Structure 1
């Protein structure tokens, strides 16, 4: 399967240590099977950084999924929201699981404000779950969380 990573740089070799902490599923290399989604993310970053968008393309053999520890969230659920919340607020930026790959919906870009509202008691967890759902509709992401999994991504091209 083809997977895409929107960026402003070509990434021939993924270095997990360069991944940002406190993301939806922890420190990981995030990809999409939707090229348009990756392009939109790359364009957003490029506009912010005043540079050129780049979509990195990787190939991943789906048969390898059975060789990895994978966590799948097929929909917006309370478990998904707790998983994201815990990773977003983890004070040391640690990844709080042992999965090689996590697959699930992308959270809303304004999640930080919703975390603050929930932590301060202004909204319930049920309301938090509703508010962190992606505005443009449900879209999914793959988080490659271990070097072992990342090593199976085969770089194809950059666009």
Structure 2
């Protein structure tokens, strides 16, 4: 499987400590199967940091290499997915909120973020949150690699 990572500058080794905490699946290295999604993230990174050049790095992952790792996969927006996103985004501890090496699932982009905010602030209930998310168009999936064991199976192309 080929995965893409959008960034503002090329780099050699992946350093998980440079990743920001409180992301969708926790502090880790995020990739996409879609080049366009990775490029969009690279452009956002350049805008946020006000430096660099949109850069997409390409990695290959052997599906069999994932068999020895702890993997969690969400195929759609579900209550479990929403609770997992909120668990990670609201994690006040320096330690990860979970022990998965790899997590695969829908990305919580800006449109999804608005719905999560409404839920967290009591404007909608969990059932309505999931209903609203499922009726949005264009689910994009993300791949989270959150441990050194997981990073080791990524081969830079």
TM-score range relative to shorter protein: 0.7 to 0.9
Offset, 1:118: 2.5
What TM-score results when the alignment is normalised by the length of structure 2? 0.87
Offset, 1:121: 1.7
Q: 1:45 to 1:134 in 2, by over 3 A?
A: farther
Q: Is 1:10 paired with 2:21?
A: no
Matches within 5 A, 1:28-67: 28-48=28-48, 49-67=50-68
- 1:93 & 1:110 partners in 2: Cα distance? 28
Tell me the equivalent position of 1:126. Answer: 127
Unaligned runs of 5+ in 1: none
Deviates more, 1:48-57 or 1:15-24: 48-57
Offset, 1:86: 1.0
- 1:80 & 1:90 partners in 2: Cα distance? 15
Q: 1:120 to 1:44 in 2, by over 3 A?
A: closer
Deviates more, 1:107-116 or 1:1-10: 107-116
- 1:95 & 1:130 partners in 2: Cα distance? 29
Q: 1:116 to 1:47 in 2, by over 3 A?
A: closer
Tell me the equivalent position of 1:26. Answer: 26
Tell whether the 8 Å contact from 1:108 to 1:132 is kept in structure 2 after alignment.
no
Offset, 1:44: 2.5
Tell whether the 8 Å contact from 2:77 to 2:133 is kept in structure 1 after alignment.
no
RMSD of Structure 2 on Structure 1 (CA): 2.2
- 1:113 & 1:139 partners in 2: Cα distance? 16
Deviates more, 1:82-91 or 1:128-137: 128-137
Q: 1:60 to 1:47 in 2, by over 3 A?
A: same
Unaligned runs of 5+ in 2: none
Offset, 1:114: 4.1
What TM-score results when the alignment is normalised by the length of structure 1? 0.86
Deviates more, 1:47-56 or 1:111-120: 111-120
